Structure 1
Amino acid sequence: MRRYSNAMKNSLLISSACLLALLSTVGAALPYPILAPLFADGTANGLNTFLGLPPKLLLGLALTINPLGLLIGSALLGPMSDRYGRRPVLLVTAVGAAIGHAITALALVIESFPLFIVARFITGLLEGNGSVARAMLADKLEGDLRRKALSWLNGAFYMGWLVGPLMAGFTLGYGVTTPFWIAVVLLLGTAVLVAKALPREAPSAATTSWWQVARHRHALNLLREPELRTLFIITLAYSCCVTGFYEFYPLWLVEVPGYGPRGIAWATAAMCAVMTATTIVAGRKFAGEPLLRARGFAYVTSSLIAVLAVGDANIGLAAIVLFGIPHAFHSSIVPHWCAERFGAHGQGAVMGLISTTFCLANIVMALIGAVLTLIDTRLILLLSAALGAWSAWRLQRWHYSLQQAVPAAGALS
């Protein structure tokens, strides 16, 4: 009976985390099929004519600001949940993200680029709670169940990238703000479910204020550790590879096959469906060294992005869809390995560092892409592929250096 009760609690915990991840990334993914046509199809509006700047440059800024909020939120929310508890942080951020989407809808109605930027920043800041959901699973679960749960959580994040673009593409006919209002309702519903599903936590005995936590316990403090700095550099390179692809393949779809929001939504749906299905297999236990397996999948990911950059419409579409397979495997391996190796630093901080790295990559690639796409969209895709290949090479070197360090440590003892 006790075993059954524990199994039920674990199932509820995993389901709650996955639902939160799903609905959080729905909101983050909503603008992807909307923004590229809005800024790049040649029709003038109050958003793409702001200050007379080039529309593609404004698109780059619009893509940058949400990840900037995610960067800050991911760095702070994980460690703050270590201090204040997972449940209250998840509740506050879910409601706050709903408010951010409501402001986004208002900005689109009045065609205010500055208000749109503020709204996307607020939303990104509060959607940085993905690190909290990861930390919650990492602290409560162990062994094979933790590996599977983190893989399922990744699947929920990927499904959000599927549902978000689909929702945007197929509800735009009811008005450009409709997808954002749907996101508001879903996030408020998520807050209610989290409140019911997660038990209240005992108040922390720590006396530090939230400001002290923000200043002294943010995830970037982990970079003082040499191994975590190495992890950060390698993960940043791979994340730049992935985010460069995510941010600019919709622009490639506008420019090469001539797709609008609905076409972008269908292409994204196919990619994310493949990615989500792959997580079922990716969460299983496999033989072999984790870093070497991640290296192989990073090479395949970068190769597909390179094919997208140089291929025609049909080859490029195939590369977009297939991208989800190696990336799902890579994203299943690395967080679990980090949870096992670096958990002593606090799972909230460790998962926050991973999320922060992804957000920083979004900012870097959006800014670089805003410039490179003025020349040719393929340039940012080729840069993404090169960074992915470098991360794979660096993973291999890191694996061998860790292997050499173990015998050396044994000899010293």
Structure 2
Amino acid sequence: MKTPLLIGAACLLALLSTIGASLPYPILPPLFAAGVSNGLNQFLGLPPKLLFGLALTINPLGLLIGSALLGPMSDRYGRRPVLLITAVGAAIGHAATACALLLESYPLFIVARFITGLLEGNGSVARAMLADRLDGDLRRKALSWLNGAFYMGWLAGPLLAGITLVWGITVPFWIAVAALLLVAVLVAAVLPVEAPSLATTSWWQVARDRHSLNLLREPDLRNLFIVTLAYTCGVTAFYEFYPLWLVEVPGFGARGIAWTTAAMCAVMTTTTMFAGRPFKGEPLLRARRFALITASLIGLLAASNAWIGIAAIILYGIPHSIYNAIVPNWCAERFGAHGQGAVMGLISTTFCLANIIMALVGAVLTLIDTRLILVLGAMLTAWSAWRMQTWHASMARDDRDKLEGALQ
């Protein structure tokens, strides 16, 4: 396959996948926090905000498992078959979500969101596909463009949800079904058929012995996990609960949330077009600077009024997109020997774990005040920036020691 077609296929795959994943975000907060009783927010007599937090948690739980397994699975069985199966399966999950909303069945909604998350953990496979076929500046640019495609999906998904809700609450999910089936057709049409693997291990052995969390045995990869987890805990606290903030502070409904999210993602996508350019200096230190800016904007949202908060939400897209243009490429260069699928899977798994942690913590803190989870997110992101500084110094010392040992 020619390189432009490979990059284009990966980016379109990312775009269509995240459209399906992002559709529910403008829909859920009004269902659980607008004060109108329904079968979803009255399950077992639990507080609606708690049910909202659990609904946010279950999809990332599926993503956590899928991201840990699908990257290594694609190392073993090939990128094409894994992407094809997961795209079709995620489409089925969105169809089940639509049925759950029609029936107002909270248990079915939870099961459907879990299955969808499990199969949409294939972002690590798309990243690995680019990381193992490209290198140098082209790989950095391609991964940045891939991030841009993911962000564009987060823009298109909420926007489509806000526009199509007038025809019914399930319409956005049927759009997701169509988009993911288009992904499957795309994968089948443009990705090359890979040579059969000579490995004799079963899929269960791959899942058990080669999942991404095995990388935590390596000290530097443990540090990567800690730093990334802290950063993404802050990011997911912001992303999961700023829609609730928009309902409570400026009083927005689904359309207002959709348009605010669209503006933020438009800024992210525009920034990504420039974020992949070469730069001087150490990547980790550069990422640290943008992590600090991200932490400041999350903190500003927690402490501000409606209009300043909306501005903070939109501007958040700038430092976060630059951070995400730096870190995956640096990881691919420094840790690629461990298997690109496994390394990218570890990054995706960490993000999913952060989603689960902050959704559970937020479900409790928002019972007191939604701003508390945003303050906690800002603190964790700032701590990750401090930890990047100390980790960079430690790696620099280790590299000097290895060089001196080789010269002796």
Q: Tell me if TM exceeds 0.5.
A: yes
- Of 300, 313, 325, the match for 2:306: 313
Q: SS at 2:121's partner residue?
A: helix
**Paired amino acid for 1:347:** Q
1:26 aligns with: 19
Counterparts of 1:220 and 1:407 in 2: how far apart (Å)? 28
- The answer to whether the aligner puts 1:159 opposite 2:152 as a matched pair is yes
1:196 aligns with: 189
Counterparts of 1:198 and 1:178 in 2: how far apart (Å)? 30
1:146 aligns with: 139
- The answer to whether the aligner puts 1:294 opposite 2:287 as a matched pair is yes
1:361 aligns with: 354
**Paired amino acid for 2:119:** L
- Of 31, 49, 52, the match for 1:59: 52
1:322 aligns with: 315
Q: Point out where structure 2 has 5 or more consecutive residues left out of the alignment.
A: none
1:136 aligns with: 129
- The answer to whether the aligner puts 1:88 opposite 2:81 as a matched pair is yes
- The answer to whether the aligner puts 1:208 opposite 2:201 as a matched pair is yes
**Paired amino acid for 2:81:** P
Correspondences of 1:225-264 after superposition (within 5 Å): 225-264=218-257
Q: Is the 8 A contact 2:20 2:179 kept in 1?
A: no
Counterparts of 1:403 and 1:150 in 2: how far apart (Å)? 25
* Structure 1 residue 23, shift from structure 2 partner: 1.2
**Paired amino acid for 1:168:** A
Counterparts of 2:218 and 2:20 in 1: how far apart (Å)? 34
Counterparts of 1:404 and 1:166 in 2: how far apart (Å)? 48
Counterparts of 1:241 and 1:385 in 2: how far apart (Å)? 6
Q: Runs in 1 of length 4+ with deviation above 6 angstroms?
A: none
Q: SS at 2:328's partner residue?
A: helix
- The answer to whether the aligner puts 1:176 opposite 2:156 as a matched pair is no
Q: SS at 1:353's partner residue?
A: helix
* Structure 1 residue 194, shift from structure 2 partner: 1.2
Q: Is the 8 A contact 2:245 2:370 kept in 1?
A: yes
Q: Is the 8 A contact 2:17 2:179 kept in 1?
A: no
Q: SS at 2:368's partner residue?
A: coil
Counterparts of 2:178 and 2:402 in 1: how far apart (Å)? 55
Counterparts of 1:86 and 1:293 in 2: how far apart (Å)? 31
* Structure 1 residue 410, shift from structure 2 partner: 2.1
Counterparts of 2:187 and 2:197 in 1: how far apart (Å)? 20
2:370 aligns with: 377
Q: SS at 1:150's partner residue?
A: helix
1:187 aligns with: 180
Counterparts of 1:402 and 1:213 in 2: how far apart (Å)? 31
What whole-Å deviation, never above 9, does each CA across 1:14-51 have from its counterpart, x for those lacking one? 11111111111111111110000000000000000000
Counterparts of 2:398 and 2:200 in 1: how far apart (Å)? 39
Counterparts of 2:158 and 2:341 in 1: how far apart (Å)? 29
2:390 aligns with: 397
What whole-Å deviation, never above 9, does each CA across 1:82-137 have from its counterpart, x for those lacking one? 00000000000000000000000000000000000000000000000000000000
What whole-Å deviation, never above 9, does each CA across 1:209-233 have from its counterpart, x for those lacking one? 0000000000000000000000000
Q: SS at 1:128's partner residue?
A: coil
1:217 aligns with: 210
**Paired amino acid for 2:121:** G
Q: Is the 8 A contact 2:88 2:180 kept in 1?
A: yes
Larger mean CA deviation between 81-90 and 186-195 belongs to 186-195
Counterparts of 1:75 and 1:95 in 2: how far apart (Å)? 19
1:345 aligns with: 338
- The answer to whether the aligner puts 1:77 opposite 2:77 as a matched pair is no
Give TM-score, length-normalised by structure 1.
Answer: 0.98
* Structure 1 residue 411, shift from structure 2 partner: 2.3
What whole-Å deviation, never above 9, does each CA across 1:173-217 have from its counterpart, x for those lacking one? 100000000110111011101111101011100000000000000
What whole-Å deviation, never above 9, does each CA across 1:304-336 have from its counterpart, x for those lacking one? 000000000010000000000000000010000
**Paired amino acid for 1:151:** S
Q: Point out where structure 1 has 5 or more consecutive residues left out of the alignment.
A: 1-5
1:3 aligns with: none
Counterparts of 1:237 and 1:231 in 2: how far apart (Å)? 10
Counterparts of 1:120 and 1:410 in 2: how far apart (Å)? 50
Q: Percent identity?
A: 77
How many residue pairs end up in the alignment?
406
* Structure 1 residue 408, shift from structure 2 partner: 1.5
Counterparts of 1:227 and 1:274 in 2: how far apart (Å)? 33
RMSD across aligned positions (CA): 0.6
Q: SS at 1:33's partner residue?
A: coil
Q: SS at 1:291's partner residue?
A: helix
Counterparts of 2:189 and 2:31 in 1: how far apart (Å)? 39
- Of 270, 273, 277, the match for 1:280: 273
2:37 aligns with: 44
Q: SS at 2:27's partner residue?
A: helix
